Structure 1
Amino acid sequence: MHLVTGAVVGLFGGTAIFALVLLGVGGFVTVVLPIVAAGTLLVVSAGLTVVQRSRHTAFLGATWPEGPFAQPVTFAPRALLALVRSPRTWRQLSYHLIAGCYGLLAASIAIAAWTMGPAMIFAPLLGRDTGLELRHWILCGMGIVLTIAAPWITQGLAALDGLLARVLLGTSRTEALELRVSDLAASRTSTVDAADAERRRIERDLHDGAQQRLTSLAMNLGIARATLDDLPEGGARAIAEAHEEAKQVLTDLRDLVRGLHPAVLEDRGLDAALSAVAARSPIPVRLRVDMDRRVARDVEAVAYFVVSEALTNVARHSEAEHAAVEVDLEDGELRLRIADDGRGGADSKGGTGLQGLSDRVRSVDGSFRVTSPLGGPTVIEVELPCAS
């Protein structure tokens, strides 16, 4: 059945494609006719590809990757030009043209093997003429051999057809790698989005739960500290220490919540969020942000955390007196430059968090470079791709 259906589909498809090619070439003196013929040719080819793939799956158990051959065909000149330039388009057309001839030939051979072989076995019964008796027995022997070989002949022809289909209707190694990269990119984007959503949930829970209760506790301790004058010295000291500890824990929790996902970044954008980071820095920071629009949320988050962590590293490790942050959005890239006048010698393996920053940047296909000679200065340069 595989070869018989292949003959029918191949003959129809090959004839249709050949006719459309002749129509397009014959009407080349016009402008519209070749475009219509080319569009129709691609539509017919795509439909035949679906039919042929289904046939190979049904009879031979072939499997096909998702992706390129499922793309819709439009009659827009630019889209048609892109399809014409695609190697897979020509592979499809090649298979359908080959199938028009091979399918009919293979089906004819298979049918002949299954019908003529058994018929030739009965050749000795056709006559008793002694002059023809030997020839009849030879035909009988050939019929037996042909009947026995018919399954192998059919399988061989079908296997050859399957090989042609895998090569011409399947995906090349390059296309398979492109599909794999696309799948990995989609998976990574999903993972980043899930992590961002989880950070938001934790930030919301901490802000609405633990932070509110700690605020209430600190206020109550402050009221007790201010109003209870008749406590023993030890009791008053314990309340004062508890009050100070509660305020410190509340400050730490606010910093943690801000670090998970700052509300100002969501509400007012990267410029305002980085201004807040620079204002909190224990060393003076000169900030310049040149952006004419907001970028994708995940890119904004990466840029914010890179600058925030880099300034934290400057304050903790560099012994710098000044730092500068420059942010520019141009040519579809968000470019960050963080520099300080510290002692230098920053190393991504030295426990300063630079490897973590590099990992964050790579999560959005960005580039991360550190220049930090001994004696300084230290310069971090980051480029984050942004869709326009």
Structure 2
Amino acid sequence: MDISVPQALPWRRAPRVIVAGLWDGRTWLALVHLVTGSVVGTFGGIVIGVLFATGAAGLITLVIPAAALAAILFTSAALTAVQRSRHTAFLGTRWPEDQSPPVEFTWRSMLGVLRTVKTWRQFSYHVIAGVYGGFAAMIALTGWTIAPAMMAAPLFGLQSGLEIRHWAFLLGGLILLLAAPWITRGLSELDGLIARQLLVGTTRAQQLELRVTDLTFSRDSTVDAADAERRRIERDLHDGAQQRLTSLAMNLGIARATLNDLPDDAKRALADAHEESKQVLTDLRDLVRGLHPAVLEDRGLDAALSAVAARSPIPVRLKVDMRRRVARDIEAVAYFVISEALTNTARHSGAEHAAVEVVLAEDVERRDLLCLRVVDDGRGGADPESGTGLRGLADRVRSVDGTFTLTSPLGGPTTIEAELPCAS
């Protein structure tokens, strides 16, 4: 048998909710919000009205309207700060960070401020607050003051005799007293709604645009930092480990050529060590070249790709058409994409020939694009999902806002195309 107590029906909870509004802290915060809003709004409206009238009266001069305009902008900014703090203190409103540049008292700065939507949205709120603030506070205070007076009506009728009108005043005052908290909170919420629409420094679209700008800058900084770190590692390996291995291979070669009276086992061990050191040196040079080739830094993309094509185990036809050098990060991405694509071609495609084309072109938006194209006559069927190599190429291209396209039907040919945006 279910003996659980059923929850109170909504209509049964309504009286408790109505009465609870009398001692709810939010009610009194809302009342203080309306009272302070009437003071700030009325004062701000009067100041703005006086400044506007002064500027209009002095139109025959240039100094008076300019001074009035500067004063209006300053007053609007000050009122915005005060109103935001008031809404935060009493209503708990949270405002997005305003990333607008500071206003300077120059014609260009003031005209720029006048052209922004934010300025007129905030100015319109102060105009509205000049009327609504006093009106809302008057309604709220009227409810809180008249209700007790109406409820005291039977006390005035004790001497002359109680009448129906005295009890009607008592009932009306009680109803007004119970409604006063909700009227107060409703008026404050309406003020908060208007403020959230007009006092916000930036719109949602502008916030997203600023966020995209910040993320783009952060991405560019990360790419630059990673490129600088690769160059540092390349210099350290080239100047340190590579030089030591070169010296070791030379010493082993000299020992192998001069020490002829060693036992056969020692000669074989020395020969193996010499060959291994040369192989390690070759691998290290390939590693250094893969990190950041010095020829790319010194002579540009054409020379670096010529070296890549010369080292390729399959014949590569290279065409580079660039009227100028592009940014270092774009050059690095282009180099690594083509180098990795040719490495994949040699290892996995079974191709006998490959062709590389690099063209610095101009698109319809008047921006320079570095267009890359790598084609091989292999078996095709390349799939980015089957390994990380092709996905890595696409990720490198996307890191500089480029586009990456792979076409590889079964039977070939395989074509890799990329477009990298460059500053003109």
Q: TM-score range by the shorter chain?
A: 0.7 to 0.9
CA shift for structure 1 position 367: 0.9
Indicate the SS of the match to 1:335.
strand
Structure 1 segment 31-70 matched on structure 2, within 5 A: 44-67=75-98, 70=100
Please list the CA deviations of residues 254-305 of structure 1 after superposition, one character each: whole Å capped at 9, or x if unmatched.
211221223343445444433443443343442324143542x433322221
The letter for the 2-side match of 1:240 is: A
Partner of 1:292: 324
The letter for the 2-side match of 1:339 is: V
* Cα separation, 2, equivalents of 1:216 and 1:291: 41
Partner of 1:255: 286
Partner of 2:14: none
* Cα separation, 2, equivalents of 1:138 and 1:352: 83
User: In the alignment, is residue 99 of structure 1 matched against residue 135 of structure 2?
Assistant: no
1:343 pairs with one of 374, 378, 393: 378
User: In the alignment, is residue 241 of structure 1 matched against residue 267 of structure 2?
Assistant: no
User: In the alignment, is residue 363 of structure 1 matched against residue 413 of structure 2?
Assistant: no
* Cα separation, 2, equivalents of 1:380 and 1:34: 63
Higher mean alpha-carbon deviation, 192-201 vs 151-160, is at 192-201
Indicate the SS of the match to 2:245.
helix
The letter for the 2-side match of 1:93 is: F
Alignment CA distance shift 1:360-1:46 (3 Å): farther
* Cα separation, 1, equivalents of 2:57 and 2:343: 72
Partner of 2:27: none
**Contact (CA 8 Å) 2:103, 2:109: kept in 1 or not?**
no
CA shift for structure 1 position 137: 5.2
1:220 pairs with one of 251, 271, 282: 251
* Cα separation, 2, equivalents of 1:79 and 1:368: 45
Indicate the SS of the match to 2:420.
strand
CA shift for structure 1 position 346: 5.2
CA shift for structure 1 position 118: 3.9
**Contact (CA 8 Å) 2:345, 2:376: kept in 1 or not?**
no
The letter for the 2-side match of 1:288 is: V
Higher mean alpha-carbon deviation, 333-342 vs 235-244, is at 333-342
Alignment CA distance shift 1:12-1:262 (3 Å): farther
Indicate the SS of the match to 1:310.
helix
* Cα separation, 2, equivalents of 1:287 and 1:35: 62
**Contact (CA 8 Å) 1:346, 1:352: kept in 2 or not?**
no
User: In the alignment, is residue 334 of structure 1 matched against residue 369 of structure 2?
Assistant: yes
Please list the CA deviations of residues 112-138 of structure 1 after superposition, one character each: whole Å capped at 9, or x if unmatched.
333344444445555766278655554
Question: How many percent identity over aligned positions?
Answer: 63
List structure 1 runs of 4+ shifted beyond 6 angstroms. Answer: 19-40
**Contact (CA 8 Å) 1:35, 1:77: kept in 2 or not?**
no
Alignment CA distance shift 1:76-1:228 (3 Å): farther
CA shift for structure 1 position 362: 0.9
**Contact (CA 8 Å) 1:291, 1:329: kept in 2 or not?**
no
Structure 1 segment 1-388 matched on structure 2, within 5 A: 1-15=32-46, 44-67=75-98, 70-73=100-103, 80=111, 84=115, 86=117, 88-124=118-154, 130=160, 135=165, 138-170=168-200, 172-282=203-313, 283-295=315-327, 297-316=328-347, 317=349, 319-328=351-360, 330=362, 331-343=366-378, 345=380, 347-349=382-384, 350-351=386-387, 353-373=389-409, 377-388=413-424
* Cα separation, 2, equivalents of 1:259 and 1:18: 69
**Contact (CA 8 Å) 2:397, 2:403: kept in 1 or not?**
yes
Higher mean alpha-carbon deviation, 31-40 vs 269-278, is at 31-40
- Give unmatched runs, 5+ long, in structure 2: 1-31
Indicate the SS of the match to 1:353.
helix
- Structure 1-normalised TM-score? 0.80
Please provide the CA RMSD for this pair: 3.8
Alignment CA distance shift 1:186-1:248 (3 Å): same
* Cα separation, 2, equivalents of 1:59 and 1:16: 24
**Contact (CA 8 Å) 2:355, 2:375: kept in 1 or not?**
yes
CA shift for structure 1 position 374: 5.3
**Contact (CA 8 Å) 1:335, 1:383: kept in 2 or not?**
yes
Alignment CA distance shift 1:111-1:345 (3 Å): same
Higher mean alpha-carbon deviation, 260-269 vs 72-81, is at 72-81
* Cα separation, 1, equivalents of 2:51 and 2:421: 44
The letter for the 1-side match of 2:416 is: I
Indicate the SS of the match to 1:166.
helix
* Cα separation, 2, equivalents of 1:162 and 1:324: 62
**Contact (CA 8 Å) 1:320, 1:340: kept in 2 or not?**
no
CA shift for structure 1 position 358: 0.9
Equivalent residues, number: 385
Alignment CA distance shift 1:79-1:190 (3 Å): farther
* Cα separation, 2, equivalents of 1:2 and 1:30: 41
